[in-house]
Chains A and B, each alone.
Chain A
């Protein structure tokens, strides 16, 4: 694992720990219903402060059950994560495509240019270097 990957993995690990610790330490144990939503708690607080307050509008559509609701929340996360994955995959593919095109071009064009590009390619570790080295030498087409 490269240093870069290790740092990224560490970041994810800390985020996971932050999410798991409140559960593992039982920080919700003092509540009747542990780990409910903060928005629901706010509704309760409003009713406590102003017992006569009546919500004057209700949602146009309400998911009929907790299952449907969690399904729709997963859909939201999946849409977002799907697009992010598409974005990073596309970028990686473009970078690799551009590197490949440069290599192929180097074989076709005259000896002088080929030499120059090959020198650059060999400095790049034959095009199999890490992502960071590669992006350092090959600029993306949109840039």
Chain B
């Protein structure tokens, strides 16, 4: 769930827009480079975008008695690195802002910063860290997607707390309030997103092994071992 249209003061809205812009421009360049140098990855890029489309349309009930939706940005960040998700995530946000009155144009910068920039980077960082420390692929994928999802809504809470500090408790008081609304609601959804991302990654290791090896998700050796295991 993103910050609704008009619900950030103009200065904040503009500041988040300025903060997001370089990431999105850089992402567009990374995306063009990827498509030019590896035309065969266009389909998988489309599939990563499609995954965020599905997941961010799924509003799910949560333990807090309210609803929110996952982001689906972890998968693309793991496959194609975060800059590309800055673009795919922003496209999804733009679709929802224009057609669904969900999120908004004035809050697009702030929402892109949380969902298309911080989420993918935090998720990718977690994934990479776990891989480097020798965690199995699917464990790293689960936590990567989980962190991408949850960190998105932690950033949303911070953004709102900065814009609307509690008259009594200040920014921290407001953070506790917005965190309770967004981050706690998101916990079980982040688990769901982690599991769904693992599912899609499992299907990809069967159907698109070549792509995964080229993108460095499956090492050559890992792939061989996997083949031996399944043969």
Contact = CB atoms under 8 A, between A and B. Distances in A.
Given A46-B7, A83-B47, A73 B105 contact: no
A19 B106 CA distance: 31
A38 B101 contact: no
Interface of B, helix, strand, loop or mixed by DSSP = helix
Given A4-B202, A8-B203, A29-B65, A59 B101 contact: yes
Nearest to A77: B57
Given A8-B199, A55-B7, A136-B227, A60 B61 contact: no
Nearest to B183: A38
B4 A73 contact: no
A4 B74 CA distance: 23
Given A58-B6, A80-B57, A91-B207, A28 B65 contact: yes
A40 to B, nearest CB: 8
A29 B64 CA distance: 10
Nearest to A23: B61
B218 to A, nearest CB: 11
A103 interface: no
A49 B164 contact: yes
Size range of the chain B interface in the assembly: 35 or more
Contact of B198 (A11, A19, A74, A142): A11
Contacts of A55: 4-7
Interface string A90-107: 111001000000000000
A140 B208 contact: yes
Contacts of B98: 60-61
Contact of A57 (B6, B49, B167, B191): B6
Contacts of A39: 1-4, 68, 102-103
Interface stretch (B15-23, B113-121, B124-132, B209-217): B209-217
A57 B202 contact: no
B53 A11 contact: no
Interface in B17-60: 40, 43-44, 46-47, 49-60
B1 A38 contact: yes
A76 interface: yes
B51 to A, nearest CB: 7
Interface of B: 1-7, 9-10, 40, 43-44, 46-47, 49-68, 95-106, 160, 164-167, 174, 177-178, 181-182, 185-186, 188-189, 191-192, 195-196, 198-200, 202-203, 206-211, 213-214, 227, 230-231
